[in-house]
């Protein structure tokens, strides 16, 4: 029989003869790990949802003409040798048109990282239905190209995207906007452009991206029709949308396009910065709370082992007299803390899983902002791995100091009485 | 033949002030001897026994047990040595309360690890039988009376067939009946099994009946 096996047996007897104490120490770890799992699962679930919504509702890269970009003033251009400063520059009255947009899109499609590119025309409009008047946007698109990028077919709640092709004066409306206007498929709405042009359009379908910022304001229409109501020429395009094979490379690729075409090129992370900031803050919160819980559990274990060792001074002395070395005694108490840590963590994972399951079944109304019925929960095994590793490491650390104390106890001091 | 040889053992206490508790003590113990170490409180007899037991390593001089020089050896080596060569019986019996009688007796042998669990169990039962405790083997050790616990402690001390059994006031906490019992056991062990025993004691009747009485005073052996 090896020395370790004997240490494990003695440790085991210690644990089972004081079941209440063992259980309390274990529950400390269980609670810490369980809450960690539940919190991380919920937070990352929410983060993943936010990220995927940000992804589906906006292109990986959007190329447009940014009229607010800083430009050289005339004074600077004329006074080359002097020092000129123009304060509070007013944006130049420029057209939002992206020149040669179709050619740009063609070139972008040849890029090896690009999955697809489409051109569109975005404009602010008023939607009127009876007395209701709402501010929103309209996007003139080639609906089939748009579908390739955003998988619109799967987002349709009523009607089909092909209806737009057969019906030149049709529009596909966001569900949120339709609800606000209280219109249904087949109804006719009147739209008014900022220039005062008015046109009656027929709703041929409703889509839902799942994110209020889009569904509550946006409609799709045919490119040619939007060009007509804005009284613009056939080449008038305001945006080129780009989808990459790997959306994570958007930030790296975007400046490349800006350089090549001379138009503002914005990646999805920049466009959804506020939304993604929430992700970062939630992560910080989750991890700080989880780590605090585990540290508290660690102190609990330290405390209970310290008391155990204090109560077992005589036993430790007798073990040492009988020929157990300091390291054997240390082993006995390390085994105890590791058993507490392992089973406590394991139970914690189970409780964390059950909690996550309950959370994922809890009805939750995302309101206008997010269209979800239940809280999103991430069941990724990564967090369960982190949980058990962290649980065992904390308990090992919490057990080490008291164990070392036990190893260094001088038996004579105790045996002399 | 001497199983234990101590040469010029000196030891100091530094708290509360420097004090020489052992003054160049020489002692030689023969195999099969039942030795009682007596003296007044504070004469250094317990301190000497703990030096002889290898648990106290803070001393000057030379110590040899069963032909092995033990001075200046590492703690872990000494722990292993105690396990194999020395058995202990203390005043307050010191059984591990969470374990059964049998488990308590088996522990030092399991630690030594030179036999299978079955062999150790058979041997532990044999030792318990010598001490008349076999019927209590499966009981929790905390359920026994003081005298019974002390007999189990003796069985535990015997499990690895040690060269020496050391006792620190082994009868100090027992009534006359149990004291006599423990003494009879010690006598039988020395005479029947040639077991060497060194016991520190206050008990005069206990000392009188041993083979050899070593009396100490002021850190020196004054008799024996």
**pLDDT tens digit string along B193-209?**
888 888 888 877 777 88
pLDDT at A206: 92
The pLDDT of residue A317 is above 80: yes
Domain range enclosing A33: 3-55+275-415
Region of poorest pLDDT, from A168-172, A191-195, A298-302? A298-302
Question: Looking at the structure, do residues A225 and A356 belong to the same domain, yes or no?
Answer: no
CB contact under 8 A, A3 and B111: yes
pLDDT at A32: 83
Q: What is the pLDDT of residues A250-276, one digit of tens each?
A: 888 888 888 888 888 888 888 878 777
Q: Is residue A74 part of a domain?
A: no
pLDDT at A369: 64
Residues of chain B with pLDDT under 50: none
Question: Looking at the structure, do residues A155 and A241 belong to the same domain, yes or no?
Answer: yes
Q: Is A169 on the interface with B (CB under 8 A)?
A: no
CA distance, residue B76 to nearest chain A CA (Å): 5
pLDDT at A245: 86
Which residues of A fall within a CB distance of 8 Å from B172? none
Choosing from A249, A269, A289, the residue where a domain stops is A269
Q: Is A411 on the interface with B (CB under 8 A)?
A: yes
N-terminal to C-terminal alpha carbon distance within chain A: 33
Under 8 Å between Cβ of A35 and A385: no
Element (H, E) at A242: strand A239-244
Question: Looking at the structure, do residues A282 and A255 belong to the same domain, yes or no?
Answer: no
CB contact under 8 A, B56 and A323: no
Question: Looking at the structure, do residues A264 and A311 belong to the same domain, yes or no?
Answer: no
| Joined tokens for residue B139 | 């009981």
Choosing from A269, A289, A320, the residue where a domain stops is A269
Q: Is residue A78 part of a domain?
A: no
Choosing from A269, A286, A302, the residue where a domain stops is A269
User: What is d(CA A297, CA A25) in angstroms, rounded to the nearest whole number?
Assistant: 8
Q: Is residue A293 part of a domain?
A: yes
The pLDDT of residue A91 is above 80: no
pLDDT at A417: 61
CB contact under 8 A, A321 and B84: no
Q: What is the pLDDT of residues B169-183, one digit of tens each?
A: 888 777 888 888 888
Token look-up 């047996």 returns A9
The pLDDT of residue A315 is above 80: yes
Question: Looking at the structure, do residues A206 and A178 belong to the same domain, yes or no?
Answer: yes
* Alpha helix positions (H), A273-417: 273-311, 313-321, 326-361, 381-408, 411-415
CB contact under 8 A, A415 and B79: no
- Indicate the burial class of A350 (C-beta count within 10 angstroms; 0-12, 13-18, 19 or more): middle
Size of the A and B interface in Cβ pairs below 8 Å: 76
Q: Is A407 on the interface with B (CB under 8 A)?
A: no
Question: Looking at the structure, do residues A161 and A34 belong to the same domain, yes or no?
Answer: no
Question: Looking at the structure, do residues A202 and A225 belong to the same domain, yes or no?
Answer: yes
Which residues of B fall within a CB distance of 8 Å from A321? 53, 55, 82, 88, 90
Q: How many domains does chain A have?
A: 2
The pLDDT of residue A312 is above 90: no
Under 8 Å between Cβ of A226 and A123: yes
Q: Is A109 on the interface with B (CB under 8 A)?
A: no
Torsion angle in degrees (nearest 10) through CA of A122, A123, A124, A126: -110
CA distance, residue B209 to nearest chain A CA (Å): 25
How far is C-alpha B221 from the geometric centre of its chain's CA atoms? 19
pLDDT at A139: 92
Q: Is residue A177 part of a domain?
A: yes
Which residues of A fall within a CB distance of 8 Å from B55? 320-321, 411-412, 415
Q: Which residue of A has its CA nearest to B115?
A: A1
Instruction: Report the alpha-carbon angle B122-B127-B129, nearest 5.
Output: 95
- Indicate the burial class of A274 (C-beta count within 10 angstroms; 0-12, 13-18, 19 or more): exposed
Q: Is A83 on the interface with B (CB under 8 A)?
A: no
Which residues of B fall within a CB distance of 8 Å from A15? none
Question: Looking at the structure, do residues A20 and A126 belong to the same domain, yes or no?
Answer: no
CA distance, residue B51 to nearest chain A CA (Å): 10
CB contact under 8 A, A325 and B76: yes
Question: Looking at the structure, do residues A41 and A164 belong to the same domain, yes or no?
Answer: no
Question: Looking at the structure, do residues A28 and A161 belong to the same domain, yes or no?
Answer: no
CB contact under 8 A, A1 and B110: yes
Which residues of B fall within a CB distance of 8 Å from A325? 75-76, 79-80
CB nearest to B88's CB, from A13, A315, A321: A321
Q: How confident is the model at residue A347 (pLDDT cuts 50, 70, 90)?
A: very high
A12 C-beta neighbours (distance < 10 Å), count = 14
Q: Is A19 on the interface with B (CB under 8 A)?
A: no
Question: Looking at the structure, do residues A16 and A161 belong to the same domain, yes or no?
Answer: no
| Joined tokens for residue B134 | 């076999």
Q: Is A68 on the interface with B (CB under 8 A)?
A: no
Q: Is the ipTM of this complex over 0.90?
A: no
Q: Is residue A153 part of a domain?
A: yes
pLDDT at B217: 84
Which residue segments constitute the domains of chain B, with CATH numbers given?
2-223 (3.40.50.300)
Q: Is A3 on the interface with B (CB under 8 A)?
A: yes
The pLDDT of residue A173 is above 90: yes
Q: Is B92 on the interface with A (CB under 8 A)?
A: yes
Q: Is residue A80 part of a domain?
A: no
User: What is d(CA B171, CA B178) in angstroms, rounded to the nearest whole number?
Assistant: 8
Q: Is A129 on the interface with B (CB under 8 A)?
A: no
Residue in A322, A325, A413, A414 to test binding to B, most B beta-carbons within 10 Å: A322
CB contact under 8 A, B50 and A417: no
Q: Is residue A77 part of a domain?
A: no
Question: Looking at the structure, do residues A172 and A211 belong to the same domain, yes or no?
Answer: yes
Q: What is the pLDDT of residues A361-415, one digit of tens each?
A: 888 876 666 667 788 888 888 889 988 888 888 888 888 888 888 888 778 877 7
Share the mean pLDDT of chain A: 85
Q: Is residue A75 part of a domain?
A: no
The pLDDT of residue A350 is above 90: yes
pLDDT at A1: 46
């Amino acid at each position: 029989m090896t020395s370790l096996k004997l240490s494990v047996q003695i440790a085991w007897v210690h644990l089972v003869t004081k079941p209440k104490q063992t259980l309390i120490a274990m529950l400390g770890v269980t609670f810490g790990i369980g809450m960690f799992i539940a919190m991380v699962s919920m937070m990352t679930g929410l983060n993943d949802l936010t990220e995927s919504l940000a992804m589906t509702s906006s292109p990986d890269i959007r190329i447009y003409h940014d009229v607010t970009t800083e430009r050289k003033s005339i004074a600077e251009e004329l006074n080359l040798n002097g020092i000129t400063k123009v304060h509070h520059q007013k944006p130049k009255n420029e057209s939002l048109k992206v020149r040669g947009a179709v050619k740009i899109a063609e070139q972008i499609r040849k890029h090896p990282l690009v999955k697809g590119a489409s051109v569109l025309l975005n404009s602010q409009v008023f939607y009127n239905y009876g007395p209701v008047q709402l501010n929103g946007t309209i996007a003139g698109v080639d609906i089939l190209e748009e579908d390739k990028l955003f998988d619109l077919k799967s987002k349709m709640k009523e009607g089909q995207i092909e209806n737009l092709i057969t019906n030149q004066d049709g529009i596909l409306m966001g569900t949120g906007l339709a609800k606000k206007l209280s219109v249904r498929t087949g109804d006719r709405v009147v739209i008014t452009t900022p220039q005062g042009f008015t046109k009656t359009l027929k709703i041929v379908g409703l889509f839902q991206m799942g994110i209020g910022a889009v569904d509550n304001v946006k409609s799709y229409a045919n490119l040619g029709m939007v060009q007509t109501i804005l009284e613009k020429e056939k080449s008038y395009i305001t945006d080129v949308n780009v989808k990459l094979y790997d959306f994570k490379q958007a930030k790296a690729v975007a400046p490349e396009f800006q350089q090549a075409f001379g138009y503002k090129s914005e990646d999805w992370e920049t466009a959804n910065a506020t939304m993604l900031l929430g992700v970062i803050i939630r992560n910080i919160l989750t991890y700080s709370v989880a780590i605090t819980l585990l540290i508290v559990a660690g102190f609990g274990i330290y405390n209970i082992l310290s008391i155990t060792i204090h109560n077992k001074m005589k036993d430790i002395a007798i073990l040492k007299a009988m020929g157990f070395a300091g390291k054997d005694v240390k082993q006995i108490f390390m085994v105890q803390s590791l058993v507490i840590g392992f089973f406590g963590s394991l139970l914690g994972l189970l409780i964390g899983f059950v909690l996550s399951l309950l959370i994922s079944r809890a009805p939750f109304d995302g309101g206008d902002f997010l269209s979800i019925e239940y809280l999103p929960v991430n069941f990724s095994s990564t967090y369960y791995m982190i949980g058990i590793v962290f649980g065992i490491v904390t308990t090992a650390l919490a057990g080490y100091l008291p164990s070392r104390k036990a190893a260094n106890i001088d038996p004579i001091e105790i045996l002399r009485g | 033949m001497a199983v234990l040889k101590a040469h010029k053992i000196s030891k100091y206490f530094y708290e509360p002030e420097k004090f020489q508790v052992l003054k160049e003590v020489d002692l030689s113990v023969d195999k099969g001897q039942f030795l009682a170490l007596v003296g007044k409180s504070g004469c250094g007899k317990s301190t000497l026994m703990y030096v002889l037991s290898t648990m106290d390593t803070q001393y000057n001089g030379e110590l040899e047990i069963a032909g092995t020089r033990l001075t200046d050896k590492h703690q872990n080596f000494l722990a292993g040595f105690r396990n194999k060569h020395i058995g202990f019986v203390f005043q307050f019996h010191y059984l591990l309360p969470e374990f059964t009688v049998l488990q308590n007796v088996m522990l030092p042998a399991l630690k030594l690890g030179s036999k299978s669990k079955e062999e150790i169990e058979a041997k532990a039962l044999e030792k318990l039988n010598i001490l008349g405790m076999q019927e209590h083997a499966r009981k929790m050790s905390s359920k026994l009376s003081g005298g019974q616990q002390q007999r189990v402690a003796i069985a535990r001390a015997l499990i690895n067939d040690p060269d020496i059994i050391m006792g620190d006031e082994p009868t100090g906490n027992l009534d006359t009946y149990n004291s006599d019992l423990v003494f009879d056991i010690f006598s039988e062990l020395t005479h029947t099994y040639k077991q060497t025993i060194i016991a520190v004691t206050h008990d005069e009747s206990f000392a009188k009946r041993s083979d050899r009485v070593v009396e100490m005073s002021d850190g020196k052996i004054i008799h024996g």
